[in-house]
Chain A
Amino acid sequence: GAVVSQHPSRVICKSGTSVKIECRSLDFQATTMFWYRQFPKQSLMLMATSNEGSKATYEQGVEKDKFLINHASLTLSTLTVTSAHPEDSSFYICSAPSPGGGGANVLTFGAGSRLTVL
């Protein structure tokens, strides 16, 4: 089946630095990808929609300058957390529309990237 790969799976960084998380669709193309954020013991919140070849669409309340999204190719989207602070620590999960999703809007999710900002 379709696989979405995220890298790194875990990252620890110092406050004030920037961190890049990659999301790749393996063996299928994704013109759109979705980035979610999950706080401990809580649900997933959609942050933004990544669009290949154009600007990302951010959900209300998400800082565009803090969370930079680039969708450079049909198989790669990146999320860069700029000038990270401890409150940015979270589990970030990307997803892409599943090829042949059976007529539904089925998403394939990556395994997630756990960011810890010290």
Chain B
Amino acid sequence: AQSVTQLDSQVPVFEEAPVELRCNYSSSVSVYLFWYVQYPNQGLQLLLKYLSGSTLVKGINGFEAEFNKSQTSFHLRKPSVHISDTAEYFCAVTLHDYKLSFGAGTTVTVRA
């Protein structure tokens, strides 16, 4: 079975600073990888996904992630954050079906 580990539970960051959220996964076969964002009391919104091909994936709101097969990682980055990026971020993996396994989440708090 596949699993996801988000290495940072909380990430405080100043506005306009860069941020990186770390995600490692475990699977013996190829997987699809996702990053979702959850704003307070809301559902999840897809930021980006990796299926195959280019290892650098660009998503919405200026986010990007890089798939590293040898390190089984899928870290999320943004070069300059805004206050509005304050949210919970979830890394997820699936074995090419719709059953997502989520990481524990990373709370990003952006301060002015």
User: In the complex, are the beta carbons of A111 and B99 less than 8 A apart?
Assistant: no
**Contacts A43-B102, A44-B102, A104-B51 given; does A110 touch B43 at CB 8 Å:** yes
User: In the complex, are the beta carbons of B100 and A107 less than 8 A apart?
Assistant: yes
- When distances are taken between beta carbons in the complex, the residues of chain A under 8 Å from B45 are 109
User: In the complex, are the beta carbons of B104 and A106 less than 8 A apart?
Assistant: no
User: In the complex, are the beta carbons of B51 and A42 less than 8 A apart?
Assistant: no
Q: Which residues of B pack against A, CB within 8 Å?
A: 32, 34, 36, 41-46, 49, 51, 90, 94, 96-105
- When distances are taken between beta carbons in the complex, the residues of chain B under 8 Å from A114 are 41
- When distances are taken between beta carbons in the complex, the residues of chain A under 8 Å from B98 are 32, 34, 49, 97, 105, 107
- When distances are taken between beta carbons in the complex, the residues of chain B under 8 Å from A95 are 43-44
Instruction: Count A-B pairs with CB separation below 8 Å.
Output: 58
Q: How far is the CA of A88 from the CA of B91 in the complex (A)?
A: 25
Q: Which residues of A pack against B, CB within 8 Å?
A: 4, 6, 9, 32, 34, 41-46, 49, 93, 95, 97, 102-107, 109-112, 114
User: In the complex, are the beta carbons of B32 and A105 less than 8 A apart?
Assistant: yes
- When distances are taken between beta carbons in the complex, the residues of chain B under 8 Å from A43 are 90, 102-105
- When distances are taken between beta carbons in the complex, the residues of chain A under 8 Å from B105 are 41-43
- When distances are taken between beta carbons in the complex, the residues of chain A under 8 Å from B51 are 102-104
- When distances are taken between beta carbons in the complex, the residues of chain A under 8 Å from B42 are 111-112
Q: 17 A-B pairs, CB-CB below 8 angstroms?
A: A4-B43, A34-B98, A41-B105, A43-B102, A43-B103, A43-B104, A43-B105, A44-B102, A49-B99, A93-B44, A95-B43, A102-B49, A104-B49, A106-B49, A107-B98, A111-B41, A112-B42
